[in-house]
Amino acid sequence: MAANAATSTAKTAPEKDPGTSEELLARIVNFLETEKAEELVQIDLRGRSEIADYMVVCSGRSTRQVTALAEKLADTIKLDFGRFAKLEGKAQGDWVLLDTGDVVVHIFRPEVREFYQLEKMWLPAGTTEAE
């Protein structure tokens, strides 16, 4: 009986505040800067796409760094916001996509990023950097 009471208490424990998309973006950018991601670009997608509010594009120097950044960022988002991030491309480590719902993060190896030029597709016309 006591085990059931402990189990039901754990199930009713309050969840972490998922935060706003702006708070999530700030935490992601801070994390990536701290972990030495390179060429970080933030793109505001509000009013332009339904996929997310923001997109973050950055580079890692190697497949190992790309994978490590993605894994650590997913863990950080889970711990800080109680959100699960979906990861795609982790096995290859050339381009990892992290989908948190409100913020989509693309982490590339530099050569792969140059090939796809993803941020150019999403930045407003005539813009060379995200504001």
54 pLDDT exceeds 60?
yes
Tell me, yes or no, whether 70 lies in a domain: yes
DSSP 87: E
Count of domains for the chain = 1
11 pLDDT exceeds 50?
no
Tell me, yes or no, whether 10 lies in a domain: no
Tell me, yes or no, whether 53 lies in a domain: yes
Cα separation, 45 vs 38, in Å, equals 21
Which residue has tokens 């190697």?
62
28 pLDDT exceeds 50?
yes
Report the 10 Å Cβ neighbour count for 126. Answer: 5
Could you tell me the pTM of the whole model? 0.81
Confidence tier at 120 by pLDDT (50, 70, 90): confident
Q: Which amino acid is at 30?
A: N
Token pair in block for residue 112: 């792969």
5 pLDDT exceeds 70?
no
Tell me, yes or no, whether 7 lies in a domain: no
Domain interval for residue 89: 21-122
pLDDT of residue 126: 54
Give yes or no for a contact between 35 and 58, defined as CB atoms under 8 angstroms apart. no
Q: Which one has a higher pLDDT value, 130 or 50?
A: 50
Q: Where are the beta strands (DSSP E) in 11-111?
A: 38-44, 54-59, 86-88, 95-99, 103-108
Confidence tier at 18 by pLDDT (50, 70, 90): low
